[in-house]
Structures are given as structure tokens and as C-alpha cells.
Amino acid sequence: MKRPVYQVVSLLGLCVLMGAASAQAPLLKQWASAVVTRSSEYGADNWGAKQVLGEPNTMAYGDNGTAWAAATKNGVTQSITVSFKEPVYASAVLVRQTYGNGFVRKIFAIDTQGKIYQVWAGKDKTQPNYTVNFIATFPQTPYLVKAVKVVIDPNHNMNTYEEIDAIQLHGVK
Ligand SMILES: [Ca+2]
């Protein structure tokens, strides 16, 4: 006996769906590769914006020149914008905090056309005294992200600088 046509069609449809799910692109995790801009930096080398690039290299909590610090310990809002090698449909940004932790306030994604979108804002509950990889998650962007801007509150800890060692973008190609 022949199967009704609609059953064959629905079976085919199921196979296509399963194929699509198993072929889903893997999550790509990239460390920042270039500084686009920064509001300020404590130094051109130590504590400079370039210190956020690449893999983490600040392994102890404290005031370390291997992390980015703004020019002043406290004051107006600060930010750093970094780009990544592979544009991705992004779903998270990791901000490695190594001093004055708990200071991230907003994160913006910048698409391949240079358009800027706020993707995260909220309470950063990262605790001090340890190096911490703070991860801000958000619904996957429908546009390809090539850069992110991290906005921080330098007054989060009035006794310290607020320092970032590394920034990582999570997404799929
Ligand atoms: Ca501060």
C-alpha cells in the first residue's frame, strides 16, 4: 500500500528540520583584536586601551598595568570600543574585570555598517577581590556584529580605578 503523499512530504520536512538543527553553526568566542576608540586611558602602554586586546593576561585582582584603566580614578562615565576579526550574530559579551569590579553599565553592539545598538543594560553584580569574567547575555542579534562598546561607571568604587583586562564576543557566523 502506498503512503499518502502528505505523509511523505511531512517526513521530508522533518528530515530537513533535523538537518538544519544539526548543521547549526557553532558558538564562536573571540577576544578583541583592535581598539576602535576609548573615552580615556591612564597611559599609552601600561593601563592603555590596548591592554584589553587578546587573551587575559591579568591573573591577580588589583591595580595592574596589563589592564585598561581610564585616565581618572572617578568622574564622568567612561567607555571602550573594540572590534573583532569575524563579524557574528552575537549573543553575549564577556568583560574580564580585574579591579573595582561591578562597574559595567551598558553594552552596545556595532554592526558591519557601523550602526550602533544597545544590547545590554542592567545591574553588574560582579564582586571585588577576584578577577572575574562578567558575561552579559542578550537575545541573538539579527545583524552581524563587528565591534562592541562597553560603558562603565568609574564611580562604582571611589577608592579604586575600574579596570578591564579583556573583552570577548560570543556569537555565530
Ligand atoms: Ca573608581
What's the pLDDT tens digit per position in 98-128?
999 999 999 999 999 999 999 999 999 999 9
Indicate if the pLDDT at residue 3 is higher than 60: no
- Ligand 1 centroid, distance to 42 Cα (angstroms): 13
- Ligand 1 centroid, distance to 109 Cα (angstroms): 25
pLDDT at 96 (0 to 100): 98
**How does pLDDT run across 115-172, given as a tens digit for each residue?**
999 999 999 999 999 999 999 999 999 999 999 999 999 999 999 999 999 999 999 9
End-to-end CA distance of the chain: 46
CB under 8 Å to 44, separation ≥6 — which residues? none
- Ligand 1 centroid, distance to 146 Cα (angstroms): 29
CB under 8 Å to 159, separation ≥6 — which residues? none
Contact 107, 148 (CB under 8 A): yes
- Ligand 1 centroid, distance to 145 Cα (angstroms): 30
**How does pLDDT run across 19-56, given as a tens digit for each residue?**
554 467 899 999 999 999 999 999 999 999 999 999 99
As a whole number, mean pLDDT of residues 75-83 equals: 98
CATH T-level fold of 26-172: Jelly Rolls (2.60.120)
C-alpha distances out from residue 114 to 109, 149, 163, Å: 9, 12, 26
Fill in the DSSP letter of residue 68.
B
Residue 88: all three cell numbers together:
557574528
CA atoms within 13 A on the CB side of 41: 20
- Ligand 1 centroid, distance to 83 Cα (angstroms): 25
- Ligand 1 centroid, distance to 31 Cα (angstroms): 25
By three-state DSSP, how is residue 64 classified? coil
- Ligand 1 centroid, distance to 84 Cα (angstroms): 28
The CA angle 148-166-78, to the nearest 5 degrees, is 60
As a whole number, mean pLDDT of residues 76-98 equals: 98
- Ligand 1 centroid, distance to 75 Cα (angstroms): 8
pLDDT at 24 (0 to 100): 76
